[in-house]
Structure 1
Amino acid sequence: MKVIAMIPARFEASRFPGKLLKDLAGKPVIIRTYEATKNTNLFDDVYVITDSEVIKKAVEENGGKVFMSLTEHDCGSDRIAEAAKEIDADIVVNVQGDEPFTRKEPLADLIDVFKKDVDSKIDLASLVHPMTNWEDIENPNNVKVVMDKDNHVMYFSRSPIPYPRDKTIVTTYFKHIGIYAFRKSALIEFTKMPMQQNEATEKLEGIRFLEYGKKIKMVETPYQVIGIDTPSDLDLANDLWK
C-alpha cells in the first residue's frame, strides 16, 4: 500500500494573506509544515500542491517536491485530486499547509484505518476531538460530527448535533479535525460528483462524500490541531516553537 501526503498551499487567504510564507522560527510556515510531515516517516512521498510560483520557489529551495495546480478549485479536495491523478498512490493524506505542529500519532492512526480495512470498504478516514464547552459546541466554525456505533460518519454540521432536546442525557459532542485520508479512487471520484443541496447549504465538502454513499471512518484523537489563521496565531506559534 503506497501512502503519500499532499499539502494544499494557496498564497491567498481571506483572514491572513500570504500566511504560508510568514516566518516561523526562521523558516516559512509552509516549510515548517512540510518538514513536520516529512519527519513523521509515514509517507512514501510528500508533495506541496500550490498555484503560487512564490510558494513553489520556497518549497523547492528547501528540497521539497511541488505539484503546480493548473486550475482554480472550489475546495482543497478538488485541488489535491488534480495532483493525485498524476501520482502513483493508494492512499492520499491531506495535511493542511498552515499546521506546522503536525504530529505523527494522529496521521499514523488514519493510515492504520486502511491497513485494517481488508475488504476496502472505507473510502475516507478523518479525525475528531471531543468538545465540552457549550460556546465551542455552538460555534459554527467548529464542525460537529455525528457517528454510528462503529465511528462511521452519519452527518457533518455547523449546528450543534445531536440537538439536546433531552438535557438529562449526557452527550459527547465531537469536533471534526479537517485532516482527511482518502483512497485515491474515492478522491478522483469526488471531482466527478456534482455538489448537492446539503453541502451547498453548510459549505462542508465532507457532506458530498456522504450524499454519494461514501463510507467515512472517524478516529478520535486527544491531539488538538494548532493552525495559523491570523497574525496572532503566528505570534503564538513562534512562542510555542521557542
Structure 2
Amino acid sequence: MLSSPLIVLILLLTIGTSVSYEKSYANHQVWRLHITNNEQIAKISAFSHIAHLHDINFWSEHFRIDESVDVRVPPAAVDSFAEFLTLDGVKIEYVVHMADVGAIIENQRIVQNLTRLLSNTNDFAYDKYHTLEEIHAWIDQMVSTYSELATPFSVGKSYENRDIIGFKISSKKMATKLNGTKTAMKKAVWWDGGLLFFIFFCKSHLFLTASLYRNSCSRMD
C-alpha cells in the first residue's frame, strides 16, 4: 500500500501537470487528520461522500485507525470544516500539513520549466559544478549568439590573477527622452544575486525573450 507522503506527492504532481491554469489552488491547505477510533472513521467516511460539494478533497485512499488522513481544504471551507471536526462529541485532531498548495504547485512548475529549459540550452548544466574556464566559455557563447544585446567586459583580475569577466545586456540603440531627443544615456538596472541565478537569468531571458529585451534595452541598461 502506498504511504501517505507518497500519495500526497503523486497528487501534487498530478494537479500540477494536469489541471488547467484557470483552476487556482492558492491558499488551499492540506490537513492531516489523526484517526484513533471507529467513531471517527464513520464520521469521516460519511462526510467523504459529500465533500465535493464543499470543494474538499480526500487525498487518502482508506480510513483506518492510527493512520493519518490527508484532506485538501479550500480557503472558503477552512472554518466550517474545522467546526465539523469537533461536532457530535466526536472530535478529530488535525494539523495543517501544507499551508498553501498553490504555492507548492507553482514551485513545481518553475522546477519543471527550469528542467525543460536546461535540456535545451546547449547542455550547460546549471545544477552541476563548472570550472572558471567553462563559465568563461559560456559567456563567450552568449556574446557570440546574442551579439546585438550582449557586450563583454572585464572588471580586472581575481586574487589568483584570473580574469573576472562578464557581459552587459543592452541595446546599441539610442534612448529617447520625454522631449523626443535621442541620448546614449539610459536608466540603469542592477540585479543582485548568486552566480547560478545570474547564469540562468541571462540565458533564459536572452534565449526565450530576446525580441522583448531588444525593446526594453533600447530604454535602459
TM-score range, shorter chain: under 0.3
State the TM-score, normalized to the length of structure 1: 0.20
State the TM-score, normalized to the length of structure 2: 0.21
Bigger helix share: 2
Higher relative contact order (CA 8 A, sep 6+): 1
Larger Rg: 2
Bigger strand share: 1
